[in-house]
A and B are shown apart, each in its own frame.
Chain A
Amino acid sequence: MSATAPDETPRVAERPNYLNTGYGVKSWLLTIDHKRIAILYLIGVTFFFAIGGLYAAAIRLELLTPAGDVFQSETYNKLFTTHGVMMVFFFMIPGIPGVLGNFLIPLMIGAKDVAFPRLNLLSWYLYIIGGLLALWATVHGGVDTGWTFYTPYSTVYSNGWVVVTGVGVFISGFSSILTGLNFLVTLHTMRAPGMGWTRMPLFCWSMYATAIIQILGTPVIAITLLLLVAERVFHLGVFDPAQGGDPVLFQHLFWFYSHPAVYIMILPAMGVISELVTAFARKPIFGYKFIAASSVAIATLSFLVWGHHMFVSGQSVYAGLVFSILSFMVGVPSAIKVFNWTATLYKGSVSYQTPLLYAIGFIGLFTFGGLTGLMLAALGLDIHVHDTYFIVAHFHYIMVGGTIMAYLGGLHYWWPKISGRLYPEYWSRVSAWVIFIGFNLTFFPQFIVGYLGMPRRYHAYPEEFQVLNVMSTAGASILGIGYVIPLVYFAWSMRYGKRAADNPWGATGLEWETPSPPPTENFAVTPTVTGRPYDYLTGREEAAAG
């Protein structure tokens, strides 16, 4: 960090922007500006990510030794449950849509705000209320069911605060539905003149596909959680075999949402990567229509694969076959995206700035995570690795190696726009490398220990698995440091960072045509779109001519 004194550009000369329109608490908590709501989400998801991360650290500490010696079994079970609930429902699902989606969608399509700004603020409150309620339940009361709440353990046998946690997740589900609805309507009705569907940035396409899943899938988890609560409180009997119910039915209902929810987490990340790759190769995205269509294909197929979570639960062999082939098929549009991103770099003008480092990390880790996902779609192989650390490794490659890499890459790329400041380039590159190395050291050994047979959610484990677990814990320590570095320099840059130009990367896209940080109304004049997106050549010619 070269500069240690505040940037002395006089404040009086500062253009009016969304950050300096008001400084009071009320100006933030009652804002209906999508950009300020994005900042509120940034605070929320960072908080829940930190909580989830602390719980992960406790889990890795316990698994350093084979014996369950740091925590009691019951405590350990509460740790991984809280880690899962916080990370899945209050970080991964609202993360990119809440922060980057909120900030960028109106800017990218040349709109002044989202379609329903008040609803947008309500989404944030529902998210925070749900999140804090679930946090209180899992920390104060404790829940030991795992984030999957499988019956009849969760309904009859668990002593934890399942109901309160379920209500917390239920409430935040409405946040997800309202955000999806808001984005869908915004993208349909508020695009700038000239921005047809095929001129829309790919991040918007992926958010569109995400919104479809949020609107269609989330009500199902809401119903499932209500049934769970009714079963636990009123002994309804839907999932209770003693009353003629079926515990596996819960799994079907749960995964009918929760598998598509995986795509709520990864589709926005894919959208971010499409933007980063094209900006840092300074080249139109390769296969625009195929990337856009593959987002919609993923959203559609995502609803048809839930049964691959029940390959060993006794579902019929033929149902297994259908879910297996459909699960394989959802891999194809993901592969199409990876190939197109790679092709975009070909003959590009590639600049290795931090966001691209994250994007390249994403492509590598997502490719590997996706391919290991095919192993889980293969019926005969899934029987062995189901419910082992192999699964844990696979979904962390997608969620942490994929989504978090993309989220951080996006945060770096748009940080100058969001904050009006630049972050220190040296430290940001260091953090990208530390995270990449720490991540692989944490999760690669888990593939091996999983195939060797170590089941997930084990407080104590046989001694022969220790070496791999020690590697994993060592990696997690590095990963933790990697996450703290950006937290420090982002906070630092808000006050001490160099002021950012309106378009520091020389990127295309309407969000770069407005000042950094943007004014409250985003654009002084509503822009008109005259060409396809990512048009670097024409833009340059015009600049040269003008």
Chain B
Amino acid sequence: MPFVPPQASSFAPHVDALYGFMIAVTAFFSILIGTLVVVFAIKYHRKSPDEVATEIHESAVLEIAWTIIPVGIVLVMFYWGAQVYFRITRPPADAIEIYVTGKQWMWKIQHADGHREMNELHVPVDRPIRLTMASEDVIHSFFVPAFRFKRDVVPGRFSTAWFEATEPGKYHLFCAEFCGTRHSGMIGWVYVMTPPEYQAWLSGGVAGESLAAAGAKRFVEHACNTCHGDQPGARGPSLNGIFGKPVRLQGGGTVLVDEAYIRDSIVNPHGKLVEGYPPIMPTFQGLISEEGLLQLTAYIKSLSPAAAPGAVTPMPAAAAAERKPAKP
């Protein structure tokens, strides 16, 4: 019986190394305390009913020692844990973008090129994958034990996280945050594929439009283009080339244009208003689905090709034409 799940991501060896160290510390102190307690209890067993123990009240040296030593040990643990954490929280610039929507009780995956999956995620090995995740209802949590990877998917915001798979194979995907009746059924599989396999999988379907293209359609559908077009004197700011750059806000301050800011600006446009524009945009809260918001975000990102991390190279049209439709 294994004691750790398969190590299939770049984080896994680091997390397991820290785990190993902490198990060693736990074992050492548990055995130390356990042994001392048992040895003392046996060695100093009461021999006669009226026996009295030696009076020992305290020792400043011992108290200081067993305060300082634990502080030192936990500081090492803290530093090590923080290092692993930073590795997990900093996505590299060249990651492949994948969009995830959680809803009771399924995972819907959208690839940048329009490929859709349900409760399955196909990724290539040895390439960083960046997930932008949204929830349509309650809090979910995207958990792949083999990757030592977990991230809550909170409604009302985008949650972003990344991983890099290192071993081809099929791994569990779980929802880790209790989300209602069929919580334990909100599971699926992550398929890590070698590059040739991944290419074959990508080209093995009927055409779907790319995420950005779907977003572009919605952009027109919701009449975003009437104000955010590029014509002079437009009522809203142009969205070309803004992603990944700071913009100045009404009333001072700046904000970095990222996925979260784009989402906020659609559902709560007056929250962080760009300087020089009147607060006239209506809210689209409840009018656009979470998947639609992800598509619009993907489209707006595509307007800043240089800044958008990990834009996937567009697929050859011929290959795209053969893609099969998304699973139900």
A pairs with B: yes
Identify which of residues 365-384 in chain A touch chain B, using a CB-to-CB cut-off of 8 Å: 367-368, 371-372, 374-375, 377-384
Q: Is the CB of A281 within 8 A of B36?
A: no
Q: Is the CB of B87 within 8 A of A380?
A: yes
Q: Is the CB of A387 within 8 A of B176?
A: yes
B136 to chain A, nearest CB (A): 11
Q: Is the CB of B156 within 8 A of A246?
A: yes
CA distance in complex: A245, B268 (Å): 12
Identify which of residues 113-150 in chain B touch chain A, using a CB-to-CB cut-off of 8 Å: 137-139, 141, 143, 145-146, 148-150
- Which of A94-102, A257-265, A446-454 is near enough to bind chain B? A446-454
Does residue A343 face the partner (Cβ distance < 8 Å to B)?
A: yes
Does residue A242 face the partner (Cβ distance < 8 Å to B)?
A: yes
Q: Is the CB of B148 within 8 A of A374?
A: no
Query: What sequence of 0s and 1s flags, for each residue 25-45 of chain A, a beta carbon within 8 Å of any chain B beta carbon?
Result: 000000000000000000000
B308 to chain A, nearest CB (A): 21
Q: Is the CB of B66 within 8 A of A150?
A: no
CA distance in complex: A314, B181 (Å): 24
Does residue A321 face the partner (Cβ distance < 8 Å to B)?
A: yes
Q: Is the CB of A349 within 8 A of B29?
A: no
Identify which of residues 293-309 in chain A touch chain B, using a CB-to-CB cut-off of 8 Å: none
Q: In the complex, what residues of A have CB within 8 A of residue B137's CB?
A: 152, 156-157
| Chain A facing B: main interface SS | helix
CA distance in complex: A467, B1 (Å): 9
B172 partner, pick from A356, A380, A453, beta carbons under 8 A: A453
Identify which of residues 267-292 in chain A touch chain B, using a CB-to-CB cut-off of 8 Å: 281-284, 286-290
- Which of A212-220, A456-464, A491-499, A513-521 is near enough to bind chain B? A456-464
Q: In the complex, what residues of A have CB within 8 A of residue B62's CB?
A: 287, 339, 343
Query: What sequence of 0s and 1s flags, for each residue 15-59 of chain B, a beta carbon within 8 Å of any chain A beta carbon?
Result: 100110010011001100110111011001111011111111111
Q: Is the CB of A324 within 8 A of B58?
A: no
Q: In the complex, what residues of B have CB within 8 A of residue A287's CB?
A: 57-59, 62-63
- Which of B70-78, B229-237, B318-326 is near enough to bind chain A? B70-78
Select from chain B the residue with minimum beta-carbon distance to A331.
B74
- Which of B182-190, B192-200, B204-212 is near enough to bind chain A? B182-190
Q: Is the CB of B139 within 8 A of A378?
A: no
Tally of chain A residues near chain B (CB < 8 A): 95
Q: Is the CB of B53 within 8 A of A242?
A: no
A326 to chain B, nearest CB (A): 10
Q: Is the CB of B33 within 8 A of A451?
A: no
| Chain B facing A: main interface SS | mixed
Does residue A342 face the partner (Cβ distance < 8 Å to B)?
A: yes
B33 partner, pick from A281, A350, A364, A458, beta carbons under 8 A: A364
Does residue A335 face the partner (Cβ distance < 8 Å to B)?
A: yes
B160 to chain A, nearest CB (A): 9
CA distance in complex: A384, B25 (Å): 19
Select from chain B the residue with minimum beta-carbon distance to A316.
B89
Q: Is the CB of A350 within 8 A of B63?
A: no
Q: Is the CB of A372 within 8 A of B26?
A: yes
B1, B19, B58, B187: which has the most chain A beta carbons within 10 Å?
B58
Does residue B286 face the partner (Cβ distance < 8 Å to A)?
A: yes
B143 partner, pick from A242, A328, A387, A457, beta carbons under 8 A: A387
A290 partner, pick from B18, B63, B181, beta carbons under 8 A: B63
Q: Is the CB of B58 within 8 A of A288?
A: yes
B81 partner, pick from A156, A377, A458, beta carbons under 8 A: A377
Q: In the complex, what residues of B have CB within 8 A of residue A246's CB?
A: 156
A283 partner, pick from B47, B56, B85, beta carbons under 8 A: B56
Does residue A336 face the partner (Cβ distance < 8 Å to B)?
A: yes
Q: Is the CB of A378 within 8 A of B143?
A: no
Q: In the complex, what residues of B have CB within 8 A of residue A156's CB?
A: 137-138
CA distance in complex: A146, B185 (Å): 17
A282/B46 contact (C-beta < 8 A), A244-B268, A317-B89 known: yes
Q: Is the CB of A455 within 8 A of B176?
A: yes
Q: In the complex, what residues of A have CB within 8 A of residue B59's CB?
A: 286-287
Q: In the complex, what residues of B have CB within 8 A of residue A372's CB?
A: 26
A345/B37 contact (C-beta < 8 A), A380-B18, A387-B141 known: yes
CA distance in complex: A349, B29 (Å): 24
Q: In the complex, what residues of A have CB within 8 A of residue B187's CB?
A: 462
Q: Is the CB of B40 within 8 A of A342?
A: yes
A150/B139 contact (C-beta < 8 A), A246-B156, A331-B74 known: yes
CA distance in complex: A150, B137 (Å): 13
Does residue A247 face the partner (Cβ distance < 8 Å to B)?
A: yes
Q: Is the CB of B66 within 8 A of A335?
A: yes
Q: Is the CB of A455 within 8 A of B174?
A: yes
Q: Is the CB of A157 within 8 A of B180?
A: yes
Does residue B14 face the partner (Cβ distance < 8 Å to A)?
A: yes
Does residue A223 face the partner (Cβ distance < 8 Å to B)?
A: no
CA distance in complex: A68, B182 (Å): 11
CA distance in complex: A283, B46 (Å): 12
Q: In the complex, what residues of B have CB within 8 A of residue A363's CB?
A: 33, 37
CA distance in complex: A313, B140 (Å): 10
A68, A372, A380, A453: which has the most chain B beta carbons within 10 Å?
A380
Q: Is the CB of B78 within 8 A of A378?
A: yes
A68/B184 contact (C-beta < 8 A), A384-B15, A387-B143, A462-B172 known: yes
CA distance in complex: A536, B50 (Å): 11
B297 to chain A, nearest CB (A): 16
Q: Is the CB of A284 within 8 A of B85?
A: no
CA distance in complex: A452, B174 (Å): 12
Q: Is the CB of A540 within 8 A of B156?
A: no
Q: Is the CB of B77 within 8 A of A282?
A: no
Q: In the complex, what residues of A have CB within 8 A of residue B138's CB?
A: 150, 152-153, 156-157
Q: Is the CB of B178 within 8 A of A378?
A: no
A178 to chain B, nearest CB (A): 32
Identify which of residues 455-478 in chain A touch chain B, using a CB-to-CB cut-off of 8 Å: 455-462, 467-468
Does residue A347 face the partner (Cβ distance < 8 Å to B)?
A: yes
Q: Is the CB of A336 within 8 A of B66?
A: yes
Q: Is the CB of A247 within 8 A of B46?
A: no
Q: Is the CB of B44 within 8 A of A281?
A: yes
Q: A68-B184, A312-B152, A360-B37 are in contact. List 7 more A-B contacts (CB 8 A).
A: A282-B53, A343-B56, A350-B40, A383-B15, A384-B150, A451-B4, A455-B184
Question: Which A residues have a C-beta under 8 Å from some C-beta of B?
Answer: 68, 73-74, 77, 144-146, 150, 152-153, 156-158, 241-242, 244-248, 281-284, 286-290, 312-314, 317, 320-321, 324-325, 328-329, 331-332, 335-336, 338-340, 342-343, 345-352, 356, 360, 363-364, 367-368, 371-372, 374-375, 377-384, 386-388, 448, 451-453, 455-462, 467-468, 506, 536-537, 540
What are some 29 contacts across the A-B interface (CB < 8 A)? A77-B178, A145-B178, A146-B178, A150-B139, A153-B179, A241-B155, A282-B46, A283-B54, A284-B56, A286-B56, A286-B59, A312-B152, A314-B154, A331-B74, A346-B36, A346-B40, A364-B37, A368-B30, A374-B22, A374-B26, A380-B82, A381-B15, A381-B81, A459-B183, A467-B1, A468-B1, A506-B49, A506-B50, A536-B52
Q: 3 nearest interchain CB pairs? A: A241-B156, A380-B84, A453-B145
